[in-house]
């Protein structure tokens, strides 16, 4: 039995030398040193030896067990070091590889549409005039012919601030007043501007309405501006924006700051006017509110309405973007989901 013990010892040592990794090492430990391992099994069978041989056997078995445990620990350290070195090498950065291309950012879909608007309106002679986002109640409403308590105020739900009379503009139309006063030189100069910017409405957020959205206001003031100018200008914009054959139609409407007022539809460019889901089978898509600037508004801007006239319109670039790309939910615009934004 002592030979058997020595043989197991020898086998164990060579098997340990051969163990190439952590996995093999653990298998080895179980096989030789584990609770049901070969060494323990031999020790347990010590009773089969004659009494006088038992002590020597036990001592030798212990020596061997200790030796194997020490060798195991040493081997384990060597293997761990080797595995670490290998992992480091595999993870090493090859500095000679070409650099990975960095993903380029893109413009926001709303910005893309705004820029298209700017380009077209610039070609039609309209300069950009920037007006403030934070307005006073007067400019946003009263000077636009919407007196306090007028029911038309309910057309747009307002974000009020803690400062009395200071609000977030609900539309870009107050910019008309600012533009007339800033550029009109006391009602003596003609004006042709667009007023782009963010508007804010205290509304339930749904797929169709957001609390913030862009508008592009247009304002044209002159001595002989007529509704024909308005219609021709908008029709030309539609051709440039939606295609050479884009037809427009004007529907009578109501805004307190224009008289007469009209809503502008463009023939549905998705179905060619045949009727589809997007145009709700009407063949037409609404793209703007518009009208002739109300005499009261002209006066508030410093112009004499008996000598001067003008037209104004307001468009929603997000809406145009949605129509163009078949986007069904306006919440995507400010949701900052890259899966949406990266498509533009």
Residues that bind ligand PHE (CB under 6 A): 171, 173, 217, 255, 258, 289-291, 312-314
Residue nearest to ligand PHE (CB): 314
Nearest approach, Cβ of 340 to ligand PHE (angstroms)? 25
Nearest approach, Cβ of 300 to ligand PHE (angstroms)? 15
Nearest approach, Cβ of 313 to ligand PHE (angstroms)? 5
State which residue, 42 or 216, has the beta carbon closest to ligand PHE.
216
State which residue, 109 or 314, has the beta carbon closest to ligand PHE.
314
State which residue, 312 or 322, has the beta carbon closest to ligand PHE.
312
Q: Strands of 258-267's sheet, edge to edge? A: 127-128, 191-200, 212-222, 309-315, 284-293, 258-267, 248-255
Nearest approach, Cβ of 270 to ligand PHE (angstroms)? 23
State which residue, 16 or 288, has the beta carbon closest to ligand PHE.
288
State which residue, 57 or 313, has the beta carbon closest to ligand PHE.
313
Nearest approach, Cβ of 258 to ligand PHE (angstroms)? 5
State which residue, 12 or 287, has the beta carbon closest to ligand PHE.
287
Nearest approach, Cβ of 96 to ligand PHE (angstroms)? 60
């Amino acid at each position: 039995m002592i030979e058997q013990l020595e043989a197991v010892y020898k086998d164990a040592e060579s098997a340990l030398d051969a163990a190439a990794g952590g996995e093999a090492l653990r298998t080895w430990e179980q096989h030789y040193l584990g609770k049901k391992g070969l060494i323990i099994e031999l020790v347990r069978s010590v009773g089969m030896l004659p009494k006088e041989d038992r002590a020597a056997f036990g001592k030798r078995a212990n020596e061997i067990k200790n030796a194997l445990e020490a060798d195991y620990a040493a081997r384990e350290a060597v293997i761990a070091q080797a595995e670490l070195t290998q992992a480091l090498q595999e993870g090493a950065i090859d500095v000679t590889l070409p650099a990975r291309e960095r993903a380029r950012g893109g413009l926001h879909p709303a910005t893309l549409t705004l820029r298209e608007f700017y380009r077209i309106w610039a070609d039609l002679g309209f300069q950009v005039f920037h007006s403030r986002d934070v307005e006073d109640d007067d400019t946003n409403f009263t000077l636009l012919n919407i007196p306090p308590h007028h029911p038309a105020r309910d057309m747009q739900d307002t974000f009020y601030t803690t400062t009395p009379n200071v609000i977030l503009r609900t539309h870009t139309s107050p910019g008309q007043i600012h533009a007339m006063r800033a550029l009109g030189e006391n009602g003596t100069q003609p004006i042709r501007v667009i007023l782009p910017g963010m508007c804010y409405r205290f509304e339930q957020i749904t797929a169709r309405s957001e609390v913030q959205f862009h508008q592009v206001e247009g304002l044209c003031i002159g001595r002989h501006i007529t509704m024909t100018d308005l219609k021709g200008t908008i029709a030309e914009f539609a051709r440039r924006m939606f295609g050479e054959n884009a037809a427009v139609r004007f529907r009578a409407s109501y805004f307190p700051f224009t008289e007469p007022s009209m809503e502008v539809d463009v023939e549905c460019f998705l179905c060619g006017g045949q009727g589809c889901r997007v145009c709700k089978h009407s063949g037409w898509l609404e793209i703007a509110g518009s009208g002739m600037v109300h005499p009261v508004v002209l006066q508030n801007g410093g112009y004499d309405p008996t000598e001067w006239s003008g037209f104004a319109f307001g468009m929603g670039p997000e809406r145009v973007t949605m129509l163009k790309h078949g986007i069904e939910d306006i919440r995507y615009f400010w949701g900052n989901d890259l899966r949406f934004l990266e498509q533009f």
